[in-house]
Amino acid sequence: MLFNSIEFAIFFPIVFLLYWFVFNKNIKARNIFLVVVSYVFYGWWDWRFLSLIVISSFVDYFVGLQLDKTDENRKRKYLLLISIFVNLGFLGFFKYFNFFIDNFAEAFTLLGMPFNKPTLNVLLPVGISFYTFQTMSYSIDVYRKKMTATKDLAAFFAYVSFFPQLVAGPIERAINLLPQFNEKKTFDYTQAADGMRQILWGFFKKIVIADNSAVYVKEIFQNYTDYSGSTLFLGAIFFAFQIYGDFSGYSDIAIGTARLFGFQLRQNFAFPYFSRDIAEFWRRWHISLSSWFKDYVYIPLGGSRVGKWKAIRNTFIIFIVSGFWHGANWTFIIWGALNAIYFLPIMLAKRNRKNIEVAAEGKLLPNLKEIFQIGTTFFLTIIAWVFFRAESVSKAFDYLKIMFSKTLFHATRVESTHEISQAISQTTLIGLIFFMLVFEWFNRSKQHGLEKLNDFHFVIRWSLYVFIALLIMFAGNFSRTEFIYFAF
């Protein structure tokens, strides 16, 4: 079920009212209710894949219980391997089977041994990369004795399947979210009001920024040989804001929705396009995934507290694995490797923890140095985004070759397709992106782009709410475009 759908507009108020007025009186009943509605939410896409969530939940629930019962290292390792095998087994089969078979067959063909590969139409379950990481992290944390296993089956199933963040995160840790399912909830108007502000901002970023950008991005990337370098550069910029508006918009809606039910989810985006270097960017972009890889892959490998060559190895591993997590295509692996190359000089110079605070802390505007740093980081980021968006590595290089040709300074008009005729103009879109950036700049130390509105006078605050709602209504693209990260 999409957040930007009629079905969700009907589903949400019904669930909200039943949650607070019927099921909130008993914690167990409330958690069972959340499991049921979460399964309805997910099953609306394809009910058959609910079995994967159920199996993953059962496996990690019982693995956790068994881990708590023994201190025998060998047995504990076997139990953890069961969790990892089941979760990564599902993920590997549904997400990467065709990728490995295709590359295996291609390798044999290059060696002069044609290989008749099996054909299997494997459908990728929505959100499998998110909920498998979420439930697997529970088993790892219990194994590491960072937390004790829960005996509450309903609470655990609700933790794994909680519908606001089920299909695209944030990827929550059990140590943060699971205890919240055992708390008595009382409706908090202040928290709910801020949650509504965050939802409004999330819909603005998704429907106005991301979905309008998507129209131009699709046309430019599909027909990049027909356009000049300047148009391709604009297409790369639009994609940067498409993926940001789409994914951070989803996170805002998810976090805001959870707050309406009395749950606190982690911030997933901290205004990453205001970053002054790539290290800061990755602390602010998809925070829940970056921290997951850091805690469960990078640090166990030794992180940067090892020899120089091992630190370089670990950096490439973490970024390439992160790239591969995003999709079964060499473009994502190149994207990850390119970000590793960006990151290495900062890490080797031990400057990767330099920009911890927000840009221009305590100031209205950044200074010239910060403007240059932000601009350079954003430029490097959009170069990497070309690989993320392109259909193949060769097309990504071709795109960049044309983009940086002498036509970079020659403007060409984007062809008027049916989709483009239904979208807002490029000029209007650029203006709305600037509008978004202004709001987010002044809220860059907050949790979302409208948080400071609560400090404004009632009339000003509500005037801006209405204005943003009108922008969504009249400038939004209501083609019900799926969120990009549903594919991951």
Q: Which amino acid is at 338?
A: L
Tokens linked to 219: 């046309």
Name the nearest CA neighbour of 265 among 247, 278, 253, 276.
253
Among the options 286, 326, 410, 448, which is catalytic? 326
DSSP 8-state assignment for residue 187: -
Exposure string (b/e) for 278-309, b if CB count within 10 Å is 16 or more?
bbbbbbbbbbbbbbbbebeebeeeebbeeeee
Q: Which of 453, 484, 472 is nearest to 244 (CA)?
A: 484
Token pair in block for residue 337:
């490797």
The gap from C-alpha 332 to its chain's centroid, in whole angstroms, comes to 15
Neighbours of 15 (CB within 10 A): 23
The verdict on whether 326 is a catalytic residue reads yes
| Count of alpha carbons within 13 angstroms of residue 440, beta-carbon side | 24
Contacting residues for 378 by C-beta, under 8 A, at least 6 apart: 240, 273
Q: How far apart are CA 257 and CA 252, in angstroms?
A: 8
Rounded CA-CA distance 196/473 in Å is 17
Cα–Cα distance measured from residue 106 to residue 101, given in angstroms and rounded to the nearest whole number: 9
How far CA 240 is from CA of 209, 289, 381, in Å, comes to: 11, 18, 8
179-211 core/surface letters (b: 16 or more CB in 10 A; e: else): ebbeeeeeeeeeebebbbbbbbbbbbbbbbbbb
**Catalytic site positions:** 326
